[in-house]
Each structure stands twice: as C-alpha cells, then as structure tokens.
Amino acid sequence: MNASTPRQSPAEGDQDAELLSRTARDLPTGRHQFHKEHLMARIQQLQTSQQEEHGGRPGGPARTRRLRLPRPAVTLPALAAGLAAAVVAGVVVNDGGGVADGGVATGPGLTTEIGAASSEGVPQLLDRISLAAAASGHPTVEPGQYVYVESRTADTFLRTVGGTTTLASHEPHRRQVWRSADGTKGRLVDPAVNDSAEGETLSLPDERGNTPVADLNSPSYDYLAGLTTDPDKLLATIYKETRGMGNTPDQQAFTTIGDLLGESYPPAELYSALFRTAAKIPGVVVVDDAVDAAGRHGVAVARLDEASGQREEWIFDRKTHVFLGERVVQVKRNTGTEALLKPGTVVFTSAVLKRAVVNGIKETPTASQEG
C-alpha cells in the first residue's frame, strides 16, 4: 500500500521528519517498526485529503485511511498534536463520506471484566516463566531465512465522523508477519491495515531510500542476538535506549519487553533473560485470570500505566507457562473524549498462534517448524 505522494521541498521534508521523530518517541515501541516506512506517506496522504476538503481540486468527499498500529499509542505531548497525532494515536478523521479502514469490519468497543491484580508472587512467577522459556529453546535464524509470526489480533479505537467521536473496533482477525534476520526484508498481511490478500511489503530501504539501523525500537533478529543476557545490564540498556519515550521510564521498559514477546523471535538465552529482567521493573503485578484474542485463559504479568489508565497484560498458560498473547485493558476512567474508553475496554488484544523460522516470504511453517 505504498502511497503516491507529492514532491516536497527540503524544508517541508525536514519539518515532517522532525514531527515524526517527536511523535515516535512517545509511541510504545516494538511492533510499530513495521509501519515506520509508511507513516510519512500516509501523513502526506491525509494532508492531501484535507486540502481537497478545504478548497482543493473538485471531486468526491475526502477519505482517509486510519494508520492502524499493532498496539495503541500512549498520550501524545502537545508538540506532537495535530495531524501526526491524529494519524498515530488511532483516531479516524472523516468528513462523512465514509471511512477507508481496511478489510476488517468495525464494530462496537471490545470489553472484558477487569481482573484483580496483586504484587504477591511476581518474582516467583517470572522465574518459572523464565525457566520454561529456557527449556523450550528457539531455533537460530540464518542469513536468508525469515521469522514468521501468525497471530490473532483486535483493537478498540476512537473514530471521529462529522465532528462526532465514538468507539469502534476491528474484529479479531488473522495477522501474518515475515521478517528477515537482518530486518531489511519482510511482508505484513493484516486486513485491518491493508485489505489486499497480498498484504504490503516491509522491505527496506523505504520510499526515501533510507535503511534504518536496528535498535530496541525496531529490532531485527541479528540485533537481538547481540544483546546481553545479564538481566541488570539488559535493563540498563533498555532504559538507556528508550529514554524520553512513553509516559514513564518503567512503563516504557515493560512495554519494550512486551513488544519483543509478540512479533519477534529472540534467541533462546535472551528470551529467558527477558522475564528475569521484567522482574526488576517496579510496579509489575500478577493478574490471576486474563484472556487472549483466541479466547485462551491464562495468568498474566502486568503493569498499569498511571498516565493513560491502561494496564498491559502478558498472558501465559497457567500450567506450561508458555506465552499466549497480550492485551491492553483500560482500568481507570479518563476525561474528555478519552472518557469514551471506559474501564473494561480492551484497547488491544493479541494471541500468538504460530511462530517459526521459514526460508522465504509467504512461506508458512509445517508443524515441525513451529516454536
């Protein structure tokens, strides 16, 4: 879904790049890396639509595509408000002519019962999860191979049509991601992002010829393989690389680790170390019962973002301690338009169905390849 965009002057390009940089700092990290190369094109696309609405070339009503990130954005600062905030924060803006929102039907907001949280037993649970992760083992991703992750996802978002904002949701649907070991090649198939059965390319360089360097905000397998597995050193690295992101350093560290659990395939030693690292973050709790996007119940390791009132939950099988998926639940009421996200609203939910190493884009794993 590469958009055709108008040519910009260098000054305009610098301003857009600066706005993107500022906005990205306040997004949860991880899976949104798959859409970075498309964000600028879509911002420009939205600008074009708004120009048409306000005296631009004649034609039908302006239509804008919501940029669906795989997880919701946290509260954006004032400097990132306006156009980019509207795109990135997950708000659909439309003048009444309809919403181009991918191939997944939208419905009312998703809801759940808010599970009770406790700080008791957090280190012990994460230690058991870490041991289970170490015992499972992960295959090595060789040059020319791809990490394949298939999941079931859904989300709830604010949609504004004709000046009226309401809750809407993408129904649970299949999402497939392929990414090469070095992170420069890939493909995403997600009907909430692109209604084409072929999906969209994630290969780099992007439309501007840029090949971003992998980091915690956009990790490749090769990058993850080079990280320390010492929990103290790893946590220090996470705090350093995510400084200035999110609402608080502790919440951002927790979110960063959570993103690595979802759509990446960390080497076995690092995967086990991530859980021992999470145990060192203040404010982590246990939720006795949580449900992933596939309807599987489990125990959750969670943390509440006090600024947004949303609790991020990593869900594990109660017996095997295998990671099942995650969800973000609104647990505190906000003010203004965000009050529409009532406590119990499921802002984002996912379930990992398959994770494997394959030899090509569009190849899906056999049962023996699945992790």
- CA-closest candidate to residue 17, choices 81, 69, 72, 84: 84
Quick one: average pLDDT of 71-87?
34
Residue 95 lies in a domain: yes
Largest Cα separation within the chain, whole Å, is 64
53-69: pLDDT as tens digits? 444 433 333 222 223 34
Is the pLDDT confidence value at 8 over 80?
Answer: no
Q: What average pLDDT does range 27-37 have in this prediction? A: 36
User: Which of 219, 141, 224, 146 has its CA nearest to residue 178?
Assistant: 146
Q: Give the pLDDT score at 213.
A: 86
pLDDT tier at 103, thresholds 50, 70, 90:
low
- Tell me what pLDDT residue 13 has: 43
Mean local confidence (pLDDT), 240-264: 95
**What angle, 0 to 180 degrees and rounded to 10, lies between the N-to-C axes of helices 36-53 and 10-25?**
120
Task: Report the distance separating Cα 296 and Cα 287, nearest Å.
Answer: 14
Amino acid 59: pLDDT: 36
Instruction: State residue 369's pLDDT score.
Output: 65
pLDDT digits (tens, 9 = 90+) for 255-309: 999 999 998 999 999 999 999 999 999 999 999 999 999 999 999 999 999 999 9
End-to-end CA distance of the chain: 30
Q: Measured between alpha carbons, how far is residue 125 from residues 115, 252, 268 in Å?
A: 17, 21, 19
pLDDT band for 145, please (50, 70, 90 cuts): very high
Residue 152 lies in a domain: yes
What's the domain range around 123?
Answer: 10-369
pLDDT at 224: 97
In a domain, 199, yes or no: yes
Percent pLDDT > 70 in the chain is 71
Q: Is the dihedral of CA 148, 70, 300, 270 positive or negative?
A: positive
As a whole number of Å, the CA-based R_g of the chain is 20
Q: Is residue 151 domain-resident?
A: yes
Strands 92-94 and 146-161: parallel
Asked whether residue 38 is assigned to any structural domain, the reply reads: yes
For residue 264, report the phi and psi dihedrals to the nearest 5 degrees. Answer: -140, 175
What pLDDT is stored for residue 368 in this prediction? Answer: 59
Q: For 25, phi and psi rounded to 5 degrees? A: -60, -25
- Who has greater pLDDT, 101 or 98? 101
pLDDT in tens, 104-128: 777 788 999 999 999 999 999 999 9
In a domain, 256, yes or no: yes
Question: What are the helix (H) ranges across the chain?
Answer: 10-25, 36-53, 83-88, 122-136, 221-225, 231-241, 249-262, 268-278
The count of domains in the chain is 1
CA neighbours closer than 13 Å in the CB half-sphere of residue 204: 18
Cross-strand pairs, 350: 153, 326
Does a structural domain hold residue 156?
yes
pTM above 0.85, yes or no: no
Mapped onto helix, strand or coil, the DSSP state of residue 363 is: coil
- Closest among 170, 201, 207 to 186, alpha carbons compared: 201
Asked if residue 5 is part of any domain, the answer here is: no
Percent helix, strand and coil across the chain, each to the nearest 5 = 30, 25, 45
